[in-house]
Structure 1
Amino acid sequence: MNWYVLYTKPKWEKKVAEKLTQMGIECYCPLITQIKEWSDRKKKVEMPLFNSYVFVQLENSDRNSVFQIAGVVRYLFWLGKPAIVRDEEISNIKSSLNASNIVDVSVTKIQVGDRIKLETGAFSNQNAIVQEVSKTHYILVLESLGCVLKIKYK
């Protein structure tokens, strides 16, 4: 069975993943814990790693069954076909998010257009193209996942 990428309504990722699980469909919504700060308090909140994306593993013939769930918009397509994510990429995301140690990543002399391989963090072993370099962040294109990654630093 293949892993496909579902595109959801904004902020519906966790709800869609819960409903998919209730339907018996194998799904994965990678979550990260962030500290959100309001004027009167701070709180740890679980946020989706990929905004509006949920990964589902099912047979090609069963792909339409997910549209019964409120919040599902469409499948993500790549080159005119539904995007398929390899099992090893899902495993890499899971293992990276379950890692107990936090690693600071530093990059030097990176220029726009460079092709790099991420060595640590949630996207370890992913190839990326540097799209933008500024004083506060990098923007990387992860072609294999069909997404853009913004890395902020101090």
Structure 2
Amino acid sequence: MNWYVVYTKPKWEKKVADKLKELGIECYCPLVTQIKQWSDRKKKIEVPLFNSYVFVQLTDVERNSVFQVAGVVRYLFWLGKPAIVKDEEIEAIKTSLKAPNISDVTVSSIQVGDRIKLESGAFSNQSAIVQEVSNNYYILVLETLGCILKIKYK
């Protein structure tokens, strides 16, 4: 059986995971504990690691059964087919979340104005500022070298 990624309505991840478990569908919604502060108090709450995503383990024939649950929008697709997540990747997520020193984890994308450090290639260990983000490339400003770098990705 493969692990698939189900896209949910915003803030419905835990509800969808609970309903899928009630239907007998193997699912995984990785949660992290965060401290939220309101004007009068602080509180620890569990929030999904990946917003609007729940992992489900099903056979190809059972794939449509997830749509019985309110809050499920669609499957995440990669190259025209439902995205498949390897068992090792699910285990890696579970293992990393069990590590004792994780207190606050966020997953975010690179945005204009971010300062990043290049880790490989001809410009490794160089600091850069993201000037532009496109569907196919990033444009980075390397201040120490006084140049602009265009990085294509697929």
**Cα pair distance change 1:132/1:72, threshold 3 Å:** farther
**Cα pair distance change 1:132/1:4, threshold 3 Å:** farther
Q: Does 1:111 align with 2:124?
A: no
What does residue 2 of structure 1 align with?
2
Per-residue CA distance 1:113-144 (angstroms, 9 max, x = gap): 97xxxxxxxxxxxxxxxx698xxxxxxxxx9x
**Cα pair distance change 1:101/1:81, threshold 3 Å:** same
What does residue 57 of structure 2 align with?
57
Residues 112 and 132 in structure 1, CA contact (< 8 A), matched pair in contact too: no
**Cα pair distance change 1:40/1:55, threshold 3 Å:** same
What does residue 75 of structure 2 align with?
75
**In structure 2, C-alpha distance between the alignment counterparts of 1:101 and 1:132, rounded to whole Å:** 34
Q: Secondary structure of 2:21's match?
A: helix
Q: Which amino acid aligns with 1:110?
A: K
What does residue 11 of structure 1 align with?
11
Q: Does 1:36 align with 2:36?
A: yes
Structure 1, gaps ≥5 residues long? 104-108, 115-130, 134-142, 144-154
Give 1:15 shift.
0.2
Q: Which amino acid aligns with 2:57?
A: Q
**Cα pair distance change 1:17/1:132, threshold 3 Å:** farther
Question: TM-score scaled to structure 1, two decimals?
Answer: 0.68
Q: Secondary structure of 2:4's match?
A: strand
What does residue 87 of structure 2 align with?
87
**In structure 1, C-alpha distance between the alignment counterparts of 2:101 and 2:36, rounded to whole Å:** 21
Question: TM-score scaled to structure 2, two decimals?
Answer: 0.68
Give 1:112 shift.
8.9
- Of structures 1 and 2, the larger Rg is shown by 2
Q: Which amino acid aligns with 1:19?
A: K
Root mean square deviation, CA, Å: 2.7
Q: Secondary structure of 1:7's match?
A: strand
